[in-house]
Chain A
């Protein structure tokens, strides 16, 4: 069975991620993606054997990069920040479905360091910011065997929940 990974996000929230990356440039920005995981849904397109694993980002929880020793190429979010993000999500009837961060002056592709510090299931959105200008935005999920990431499609959504 082929599987298409997909994360839905509104243009407005995607723009907020880009703006966060610009704001913190040349340092990395980071934050939590709050939303809903809709699980495995039958893909209504021609290939009936393919499925979409759909989830949607409905709110963002921007965080402070705790790495003051190397903020240009590293970000770190403490366990307390993670708990705050989970509480905020829960208060909105949502859950933390992933994380975003920027790659200043580097491509929007996960590094080995990203892989070593990731868990599966989460969506990891990366925005590339070159010379202060946002470029590509991609999203990734860690493979079950931790050998690398699978890229997931970023699907534009028209409506976002109140942020």
Chain B
């Protein structure tokens, strides 16, 4: 089954300037794994060094935040679209 991953503008430079890519995947995690295998330079901007999705990186399956589904184990079906949306955060000094 084919799942489309939309690539956000800031990360397209690491994905051959593509705005989307399609992967055969049974779960959201498999699709993201396909994405970061094909475009290895993307990985560090999505995942921490210990392999967890960065806290400010939000992943949506169609319009649903995967945090409220089964996270990366959320099953996908043919024609689904995955979007990656950052939360923007920052601050002036450490607490």
A interface residues (Cβ-Cβ under 8 A, vs B): 28, 30, 32, 67, 70, 73-79, 81-83, 95-96, 99, 101, 103-106, 110-114, 117-122, 124, 144-146
Contact = CB atoms under 8 A, between A and B. Distances in A.
Nearest to B55: A117
Interface of B: 8-11, 13, 41, 44-45, 55-56, 58, 60, 65, 85-95
Nearest to A109: B92
B89 A117 contact: yes
A61 to B, nearest CB: 11
B86 A79 contact: yes
Chain B facing A: main interface SS? mixed
B95 A124 contact: no
Given A30-B90, A75-B89, A77-B87, 18 more contacts: A28-B91, A74-B89, A78-B87, A79-B85, A79-B87, A95-B9, A99-B88, A103-B92, A106-B93, A111-B92, A112-B94, A113-B93, A114-B90, A117-B55, A121-B10, A121-B13, A122-B10, A146-B45
A142 to B, nearest CB: 9
A115 to B, nearest CB: 9
Contacts of A117: 55-56, 87-90
